[in-house]
Amino acid sequence: MPPATRWLDDEEQQAWRSYLRAVRLLDEQLRRGLEQHQLSHPEYEILVWLSESPGRALRMSELAQGVLNSRSRLTHTVNRLEGAGWVLRRSCPADGRGVECVLTDSGYTVLQAAAHTHVEGVRRYLLDPLTRKEFLALGASLAKVADAMDPSGRRTT
């Protein structure tokens, strides 16, 4: 016999629905901002990860783990970025066995422009409606949620 379902009470249901509504609306606003720079959110995230890495390069396996993407999905997205000239792939200089993704100067220029739009959107739609204390508490709460699903301790920062 399956375990009894722990249904949400009215307050929990309201909080859950508020979360879903906010996430969907925020994602839509941020998506629109990135589209001004011909970027999707996954593409932007890849460029950010590369820009923050030594030599603006990461092994494809590390990049997939960082952006929480399957290798096949990452390969598809990197193909688009490579076609635009924003990244390139090469053999890993350390051992020649793996493949790394490298952010090009052109990709870095696109990222810099998109970052201003993206950060302004994050501030306007997420930070500004909250106090700093509320925002930091939200971040701490969501870190607990992520840690419960990903006990590897992998962080997005």
Tell me the pLDDT band of 68, cut-offs 50, 70 and 90.
confident
pLDDT of residue 153: 57
- Measured CA to CA, the distance from residue 145 to residue 139 in angstroms comes to 10
The answer on pLDDT for 67 being more than 50 is yes
Q: What is the DSSP string of 109-155?
A: HHHHHHHHHHHHHHIIIIITTS-HHHHHHHHHHHHHHHHHH-TT---
Number of domains in the chain: 1
The answer on pLDDT for 31 being more than 70 is yes
The answer on pLDDT for 130 being more than 80 is yes
For 108, other C-beta atoms within 10 Å of its C-beta total 15
Task: Tell me what the mean pLDDT of segment 18-31 comes to.
Answer: 97
Q: How far is CA 147 from CA 52, 111, 154, in A?
A: 22, 29, 8
| Residues spanned by the domain of 51 | 12-133
Sheet holding 99-103, edge to edge: 57-59, 99-103, 87-91
Backbone angles phi, psi at 57, to 5 degrees: -140, 145
In a domain, 66, yes or no: yes
pLDDT of residue 121: 97
Q: What is the CATH number of the domain that holds 124?
A: 1.10.10.10
In a domain, 145, yes or no: no
pTM: 0.87
Sequence letter at residue 101: C
In a domain, 48, yes or no: yes
In a domain, 24, yes or no: yes
- 100-127: pLDDT as tens digits: 999 999 999 999 999 999 999 999 999 9
In a domain, 138, yes or no: no
Mean pLDDT of the chain: 92
Which tokens in the block code for residue 126?
Answer: 């997420």
In a domain, 153, yes or no: no
- 71-102: pLDDT as tens digits: 888 999 999 999 999 999 999 887 778 899 99
